[in-house]
Structure 1
Amino acid sequence: MTTLSQLRKAALALPEVEEGTHFGMVSFAVRGKGFASVTKEGHVQLHLPDAEAEAAVSAHPSGERLVRMGKPIGIRVPLADVNGKDLNALVWQAWVARAPKRLASSLGDVATGVVPPDCDLPVAVGKPATRALLLEGLGTLEQVSTRTESELLALHGVGPKAVRVLAEELARTGRSLNTG
């Protein structure tokens, strides 16, 4: 079961996403193109390509195809019926489908777990934290040192253990997290 707060965190963790409203619904867009919204009834609506939408409806029986002017554009599913991991994956798929191709492809490797060669983040932070940091543009310890502990903890996938490991590694190299 997920909440609007979790949807917001997942959507806003992606590059160039803005929160707004669309027909009175909370919505999320990348460069002006909406990819996710929440109805007043608590249904999340996600713009997805046909294959991903069909798989999502199969995985979430309470969901339904979202159709506009006779054309399938995604899915609608009660937010409470989607677990956090599935929601994150669906939000990512919707973002990729609506983001400019160059922006989406630049993050494709990060999403699949490929770490850039200049990344010096410690392996001990874990894959989810590494992915979250890379998506935020924090691929080096120097870049991480510009953020506060609370800013890092606000990233979906970065928990107290990852922050502790990062702080220890920064201290080992004579640096620290930003104190605000």
Structure 2
Amino acid sequence: MMSDTTTRPEPRTYPQPPTSEPVSDELLVVHLKHRATEYFRRPELVSHQVADGILAITLAAVEGRPPRTRNFPLGEVAEFVVEAASTAYEEAFDAWTQSRYGVDAETYRSMNETSTGLTMAEKMRRQIAEGLGVDPSSVHFGGSFTIEDDEDWESSPDEE
């Protein structure tokens, strides 16, 4: 585990195809004015935020150590940067969403962002309804889906 280290971590490698959801290699880099740069990444990195002149970095429990928050006064921080996830991660994540849910990573993220707390089936049902322009309660699964109201199909956008 790498929480609060001053050594840039080695790039992660991902099995192809992934058998479980890959962990992002997005990296939070904190350049300090009078100390060594520090690096944080998932799964140890839970979140970061700036409030009241403090960069607060929340870290998960690691190797018997409880969860904790590292606080960096902004006066001591030259800059902090979130480096985006690598192409290798994005490809692995896309392969995982394709094999697990039958959708690409972009569709999966879109469904997750707009419908937290819902099952994947419900998210897919809502996405299908949105694509068809019908109420989500009209879409039902049963190996396929049906639309309750036939008049939804009576006119096409070209006829209007």
TM range (shorter): under 0.3
TM-score by length of 1: 0.25
The answer to which structure has the higher helix fraction is 1
TM-score by length of 2: 0.27
The answer to which structure has the higher strand fraction is 2
